[in-house]
Amino acid sequence: MTRTLLVTGAGGVGKTTVAAALAIKAARAGLRTLVVTVDPAQRLASALGVEQLGNEPQPHQREPNLWAAMLDASASWRAVAVRHADPDVATRLADNEFFQAASEHFPASQSYAAADQAATFVQAKAWDLVIVDTPPSGGGIEFFTAAAEMADLVGGRLLRWITGGPLPGRRFLFNVAARPMLRLAGSILGSDLLERVAEFLVDLRTTYDGVAQRGREIESVLRAASILVITTSDPAPVGEAIRFYRELPGLASAPSSVIFNRILPADWAHVEIPSSTSPELTQNMERWSAETVRQQDTREEFSARYGAQVATIPWSPKSPTDIDGLAGLLDGSSGIPWDEIGVSAPA
Amino acid sequence: MLDKRLVIVSGKGGVGKSAVVSGLALLAQRHGLSVLAMEMGSPGGLSAHFGIGPLEFEPREVRAGLHAMRMVRADALLEYLAGQLNIMGITRFGTVARAFDALATTAPGIREIITIGKAVWEVDAERWDLVIADAPPTGQIGSYLRAPKTVKELVPSGKIREQADRMADTLKDPRLTGVVLVTLPEELPTTETSETLDWLNQEQLIPRPQLVANRVLPELSNEEVPAGPIGEAAQLHRSLWEGQQEWLAKLHTDVQLPYLFGLLTPGEVAARICDEFEALI
């Protein structure tokens, strides 16, 4: 059985790095592990041995049980729609001027692409563990709602808005000029734009059954997954972490832990500063003590209010440049739910 | 920036864009300007820095002379249709709005031009001395700035097309429009900022941006440090500082805002950033 671990959180909190570090630990514990990421930093990509964007998992050159894939999310959604279209519709879609824009604009299309790819890897049953670094778009929650949202859009919500009611088939004589309201919209936007968009949406709608079926598969993969929320102690990412705790239980499963990254040592909170200490070092210590206290308060409040299992990872000043550096990030961590990942806790 | 009519603030997600917007807005207000701060991206950041609940489309006064609003595309669209066409009385008005929304999702440039158009329209209406836009993140800003051009390519005729030129002119005019890019001295924000700058330089859609680096640590001298937490804290600080300097060296920043230590509310952060900007004047 393939275990799935979804690593969520705001952008900039080190989510991708933590996902990669967990993957290395799991691989070294003997699990065939795939880590899936969207748009990592260049240094992290090199450390993982994936320099090129591509939806195919690459085996790591030095780690026998580790694979990595870096998603090209812009291409995936269109591929899904085309896959579910009849050949002639697929050709028309591929040439369509609106398709590119729609794949960028559909709310959640990036998240959809990531969820679809992740589900594909889980369904392949080629790995013991698939770790997914979820895209931060749409506050991250979007990753979990994208499949249903896309089915709804493709299924005709937009088309109904344009026609003002009935869904026309391809052969239906779609005549904008016959509808006064649409004629009005046409006067603002130009005469034939609505008609061209409607034609595109009629084509897109023929892919509905396939897209909806795929949506249900994606949903069942996500529901069976374990979820980790990563955050720093800053108010904005903590706010997003709170959203995950509030909203995920209804969409997938409740997060198993919240991991606070970039944590300062507990004994910095209250330090006796000898009077012989220079003013500069005194001020520096006072500043970092204040940070430490703020971090501790933030964690305590989170744990008390949301009943969350809290894990911590120490603040390491340099971003790792190789695989051992990445693995070393978890040295000094505490509370990581190793059993959820299928790894026995490191001594 | 305070002598412009429109200031567009962008940056990678998570760099403190809203904090900078609120700091600038407070500064302008302190100098007696009437200001509109406009939240265009994901909701919540700006209102927290003003210490108030969620913003709405209708501007509300958060300080004397300082108003704040949130961009809501459907409302902006209704306002646009009503203003342009004077059709509020017509029944089934919602049909037009929904058809527009479907288009805005499908056709390139439409949703962006409604958003950016609202900011330009507020400038044209001369209700405010200064409009400050908490704009979409740098990953999306290109499609917003390019929107007038995109719409002209897509739409052969119609009112939106007629306005596209005027909108592009306002955005390009350095007397009217200022641009601020906020960044952090870290790898991903630096890379993204640098790519955005290259793109902006190539497209020439807006004046050259001012670069603001946020959360910059102060330098610590190299004196010997004792064992224990005091020494450890100094060493961590120096390592972090060195890492930051490496990234700062890759961009020419106009302003560096300090890392704010300890427990501060978003409102306190905004006030501190306002003071930092004041010190630069």
Residue B266 touches chain A, beta carbons under 8 Å: yes
pTM of the model: 0.88
Confidence category of residue A84, pLDDT binned at 50, 70, 90: confident
pLDDT at A180: 61
Question: Which of A132-141, A294-303, B77-86, B128-137 is the least confident region?
Answer: B77-86
A284/B188 touch (CB, cutoff 8 Å), yes or no: no
Residue with tokens 């609003």: B69
A281/B225 touch (CB, cutoff 8 Å), yes or no: yes
Residue B280 touches chain A, beta carbons under 8 Å: no
Q: What value of ipTM does the predicted structure carry? A: 0.87
A197/B263 touch (CB, cutoff 8 Å), yes or no: no
Number of H helices, E strands in chain B: 11, 8
Please state, rounded to an integer, the average pLDDT across all residues of chain B: 89
Q: CA A180, CA B223: separation in Å to the nearest integer?
A: 78
Across residues B244-257, what is the average pLDDT? 96
Taking the CA atoms of A174, A177, A182 and A188 in sequence, report the sign of the dihedral they define: positive
pLDDT at A190: 64
Across residues B98-121, what is the average pLDDT? 80
In terms of Cα–Cα distance, which of A219, A69, A86 is closest to A144?
A219
Confidence category of residue A320, pLDDT binned at 50, 70, 90: confident
Across residues A219-247, what is the average pLDDT? 92
CATH 3.40.50.2300 fits B6-71+118-280, yes or no: no
Across residues B81-106, what is the average pLDDT? 65
Measure in Å the smallest separation between the Cα of B268 and chain A Cα atoms: 13
Confidence category of residue A347, pLDDT binned at 50, 70, 90: low
- B-facing residues of A in 227-286 (CB < 8 A) are 235-237, 239, 264-265, 267-268, 271, 273-274, 277-278, 280-281, 284-285
pLDDT at A76: 63
Residue A29 touches chain B, beta carbons under 8 Å: no
A139/B155 touch (CB, cutoff 8 Å), yes or no: no
Cα–Cα distances in Å, from B60 out to B32, B63, B76? 17, 9, 16
The DSSP element (H or E) to which B241 belongs, if any, is helix B229-248
Q: CA A62, CA A40: separation in Å to the nearest integer?
A: 20
- B-facing residues of A in 49-88 (CB < 8 A) are none
The DSSP output letter for A140 is G
A290/B262 touch (CB, cutoff 8 Å), yes or no: yes
User: Is the predicted pLDDT of residue B86 greater than 90, yes or no?
Assistant: no
**Cα Rg for chain B, rounded, in angstroms?**
21
Q: CA A240, CA A230: separation in Å to the nearest integer?
A: 10
Helix (H, G, I), strand (E, B) or coil at B232: helix
User: Is the predicted pLDDT of residue B91 greater than 50, yes or no?
Assistant: no
Confidence category of residue B92, pLDDT binned at 50, 70, 90: low
Measure in Å the smallest separation between the Cα of A119 and chain B Cα atoms: 26
Output B239 or B159, whichever has higher pLDDT: B239
pLDDT at A99: 75
Residue boundaries of the structural domains of chain B: 6-71+118-280
Alpha helices in chain A (DSSP H): 15-28, 42-48, 73-83, 87-95, 97-105, 109-123, 142-152, 158-163, 180-189, 193-205, 208-223, 235-251, 279-306, 323-328, 338-341
User: Is the predicted pLDDT of residue A137 greater than 90, yes or no?
Assistant: no
Residues of chain B contacting A42 with CB distance shorter than 8 Å:
187, 191
Output A83 or B90, whichever has higher pLDDT: A83
Output B244 or A94, whichever has higher pLDDT: B244
Output B76 or A218, whichever has higher pLDDT: A218
In terms of Cα–Cα distance, which of B112, B117, B114 is closest to B146?
B112
A281/B230 touch (CB, cutoff 8 Å), yes or no: yes
Given a contact cutoff of 8 angstroms between Cβ atoms, the answer to whether A302 and B242 are in contact is no
With 0-12 / 13-18 / 19 or more C-beta atoms within 10 angstroms meaning exposed / middle / buried, residue A205 is buried
Across residues A69-84, what is the average pLDDT? 73
Given a contact cutoff of 8 angstroms between Cβ atoms, the answer to whether A121 and A113 are in contact is no
> How many Cα atoms within 13 Å fall on the side-chain side of residue A85?
22
- A-facing residues of B in 163-182 (CB < 8 A) are none
Please state, rounded to an integer, the average pLDDT across all residues of chain A: 84
B105/A158 touch (CB, cutoff 8 Å), yes or no: yes
**Polymer length in residues for chain A:** 347
pLDDT at B166: 86
Confidence category of residue A65, pLDDT binned at 50, 70, 90: very high
Domains observed in chain A: 3-142+210-341 (3.40.50.300), 156-208 (no CATH)
B42/A41 touch (CB, cutoff 8 Å), yes or no: no
User: Is the predicted pLDDT of residue A240 greater than 70, yes or no?
Assistant: yes
- A-facing residues of B in 130-149 (CB < 8 A) are 143
Percent of chain A with pLDDT over 70: 84
Per-residue pLDDT tens digits for B197-242: 999 999 999 999 999 999 999 999 988 889 999 999 999 999 999 9
Per-residue pLDDT tens digits for A260-289: 999 999 999 999 999 999 999 999 999 999
Residue A327 touches chain B, beta carbons under 8 Å: no
